[in-house]
Amino acid sequence: MDINQRVDMFDAVESNKRKTWLLLIIFSAFVFMVGYAAGYLLGSGVFGLIIAGVILGIQLIILFTKGDELILKMNNAKELPRDDTNYIYNLVESVSLAAGMSKPPKVYIIEDDSLNAFATGRKPEKSAIALTRGIINKLDREELEGVIAHEISHVVNYDILISTTAIILVGVVSLLAGFLRRRLFWSSMRGGGRGQSRGRGNNNSQAIIMLGSIVVIILAPLFAQILNFAISRKREYLADANGAILTRNPKALAGALRKISGDTEVFRSANEATENLYISKPLKKDTDVSKKQRRNQRSNLFSTHPPITDRIKRLESM
């Protein structure tokens, strides 16, 4: 273990801020495209653009004022009041001091028996860490410290900025896409009446634009998901490594990950939009699916988190 590895952590901050801006720009452009496509189907592309702009504006305001609160609420997290006779609070404050934070993150509890945790917020001074009741009960003090250190690494790296942004933005896109899919369905039921009233002779180009719109609509949720995933794979390794450096105790985090991967409890409040936030991917409600998930934990294009066995191996060789 070399503390100069933490240099990477400081550099990660700038890179994450840049990527967040890029994400905002790409997503805005994408939402406007979808908005235009939707507007076109309804008869006015400009109208669609305006609607997209309004929705995007509202989402940006939410993001920059209450993004973290919203995400915590979506996951039914309740705030744990600051109390220095509570060991959870002490662990969070202690690790945040080791990371050089000026103010510890707020602590939230999710009343669920599964083992999981996540961090959110726009910047370290206004961040929060959420822990499930299960992870508090089943991990010992050092293991819990390891998990908290992993989350605090996400906080000081500004991983939380980009993940919070992505989640709020993905919300917009899937909302729009859902709306459009319904719209398209109804207009196809009604038949091509609208196309004829608009004008003659450009049926062909209209069909092409229509097709393009459909492609955009179908791709929207997929695109959003891929972006969301692309954000976090490497970060998990980095957060594991930095967490281990913060606590000087890679074994404890490895132990915690082993307990988490061996856990069979289903995470009930798992919310699809926010699942990439967690330290380990929450299992689906459907037990068949979750069994399958557990059995083949190999990585592929769509997995946010590297296989947990690989993470444990890396920690143990530190």
Partner 1 sequence: MEYIIIIGFFAVIILLFVGKYNRLVTLRNRGKNAWSQIDVRLQQRNDLIPNLVNTVKGYAKHESQTLERVIQARNQLMAAQGEENVKEAAKAENHLQSTLKSLFALRESYPDLKANTNFLDLQEKLKGMEDKLASVRQYYSDSVTRYNTEIEKFPANLIASMLGFEPMELFEVENEEVRKAPKVEFE
Pairing of strands 106-110, 77-80: antiparallel
Tell me which of 44, 65, 86, 202 binds partner 1, using CB under 8 A: 86
Least distance from partner 1 to the Cβ atom of residue 129, Å: 16
CB-nearer residue toward partner 1: 232 or 242: 242
Least distance from partner 1 to the Cβ atom of residue 243, Å: 13
Dmax over Cα atoms in the chain, in whole Å? Answer: 77
Instruction: Establish if 4 lies at the interface with partner 1 (CB under 8 A).
Output: yes
Q: Can you tell me the distance from the alpha carbon of 147 to that of 23, in angstroms, rounded to the nearest whole number?
A: 28
Least distance from partner 1 to the Cβ atom of residue 97, Å: 4
Neighbour order of strands in the sheet with 127-132: 77-80, 106-110, 127-132, 117-121
CB-nearer residue toward partner 1: 3 or 189: 3
How far out from the chain centre does Cα 283 lie? 15
CB-nearer residue toward partner 1: 4 or 300: 4
Helices 141-156, 87-98: crossing angle, 10 deg rounding? 50
Q: Which stretch binds partner 1 (CB under 8 A): 34-42, 83-91, 169-177, 211-219?
A: 83-91
Phi then psi for residue 242, to 5 deg, are: -65, -35
Map residues 90-129 to x or -, x wherever contact with partner 1 holds by CB under 8 A.
xx-xxx-xxxx-----------------------------
Least distance from partner 1 to the Cβ atom of residue 140, Å: 11
CB-nearer residue toward partner 1: 43 or 100: 100
Angle at 238 between CA 276 and CA 228, to 5 degrees: 25
How far out from the chain centre does Cα 128 lie? 14
Is residue 124 within 8 A of residue 164, CB to CB? The reply is no
How far out from the chain centre does Cα 161 lie? 10
Nearest of 142, 134, 313 to residue 237 by alpha carbon? 313
Tokens of 84: 């220095």
Nearest of 282, 302, 306, 279 to residue 230 by alpha carbon? 302
The length of the chain, given as a count of residues? 318
Tell me which of 85, 296, 300, 317 binds partner 1, using CB under 8 A: 85
Q: Can you tell me the distance from the alpha carbon of 308 to that of 7, in angstroms, rounded to the nearest whole number?
A: 25
Active site residue 111: no
Residue showing tokens 């798992």: 270
CB-nearer residue toward partner 1: 198 or 248: 248
Annotated catalytic residue, options 151, 236, 272, 275: 151
Instruction: Establish if 87 lies at the interface with partner 1 (CB under 8 A).
Output: yes
> Letter for the amino acid at 304?
T
Least distance from partner 1 to the Cβ atom of residue 249, Å: 10
Q: Which stretch binds partner 1 (CB under 8 A): 17-25, 80-88, 219-227, 297-305?
A: 80-88
Least distance from partner 1 to the Cβ atom of residue 128, Å: 20
Least distance from partner 1 to the Cβ atom of residue 100, Å: 5
Tell me which of 84, 199, 295, 298 binds partner 1, using CB under 8 A: 84
Instruction: Establish if 244 lies at the interface with partner 1 (CB under 8 A).
Output: no
Residue 268 Ramachandran class (φ > 0 left, ψ -120 to 50 alpha, else beta): alpha
Instruction: Establish if 197 lies at the interface with partner 1 (CB under 8 A).
Output: no
CB-nearer residue toward partner 1: 1 or 208: 1
Binding site for partner 1 (CB under 8 A): 3-4, 6-7, 84-87, 89-91, 93-95, 97-100, 248
Residues serving a catalytic function are 151
